[in-house]
Amino acid sequence: MKLYHWKPAPNPRRVLMFLAEKGVAVPMEDVGQGFTLRPDYVQRYSPATVPMLELDDGTQIGEAMAICRYFEALYPETPLMGVTALEAATIDMWERRAYEFGLTGVAEIFRNTHPEFKDRCLPVYGERLPQIPGLVERGQWRLRRFYELFDAQLEGNEFVAGPRYTVADITALCTIGFAHFSKLDIPAKYMNFQRWYGEVSARPSAAVYGIAT
Ligand SMILES: N[C@@H](CCC(=O)N[C@@H](CS)C(=O)NCC(=O)O)C(=O)O
């Protein structure tokens, strides 16, 4: 198998951190080329996104959480997606909120403002998709909601989904890294979020791309 990624993009980082937490090593290839993916990769995998896991029989698994779920089933030791039905549902709920409010919020702001994505506000190849200024405002709203919601959740909870580190922490941390890159750091008033961030960014898994944020 091979895991295709793009340093330091946030979505593949979710999978790399997941594997690091599990202590699982997988062959990998960085298919980034400047601000785009390499043409040979886009041709090989038409959804044209990373991460993507290709199995030895050619099966392609895209979407970060689908790939994580595959590895969770293969390596159930050190569970990161919950064991009981309630744990699994709670972790899934918070992971999706981190993705929907946090990561998607930063992506909307980033891709609709950065000059390198002027005609690619979504990962498209072979067609133009111009930036939409209104999405910047919507992204800012999503991100404000993310900070507010997660700060409240982290009051009295050690980690995002409760007492254990899970994939919900990984998606939230990858969001913060991406937000930091875009100068959209956690507002200082969110003390619970700041406390959590200090702790999870010190874990070895946070350094998968050689960066702690
Ligand atoms: N929903 C996908 C999102 C994947 C995604 O958007 N990945 C970005 C990198 S973070 C990408 O492949 N971008 C390609 C491009 O901008 O051309 C997932 O969860 O894996």
Q: Assess whether the C-beta atom of 107 lies below 6 angstroms from ligand 1.
A: no
Burial of 150 (0-12, 13-18, 19+ CB in 10 A): buried
Q: Assess whether the C-beta atom of 49 lies below 6 angstroms from ligand 1.
A: yes
Digit-coded pLDDT (tens) for 54-108: 999 999 999 999 999 999 999 999 999 999 999 999 999 999 999 999 999 999 9
Ligand 1: which of 50, 99, 167, 175 to mutate, most ligand atoms within 8 Å of CB? 50
Taken in order 152, 156, 162, 164, the sign of the CA dihedral is positive
Q: What is the pLDDT of residue 131?
A: 98
Strands (E), 18-167: 28-30, 32-33, 36-37, 52-54, 60-62
- Amino acid code (one letter) for 44: R
Beta bridge partners of 49: none
Q: Are 171 and 12 in contact (CB under 8 A)?
A: no
Against a cut of 0.95, is the pTM above it?
A: yes
Tokens of 58: 């050619």
Compute how many other C-beta atoms are within 10 angstroms of the C-beta atom of residue 42.
17
Q: What is the 3-state secondary structure (H, E, C) of 130-152?
A: CCCHHHHHHHHHHHHHHHHHHHH
Q: Assess whether the C-beta atom of 52 lies below 6 angstroms from ligand 1.
A: no
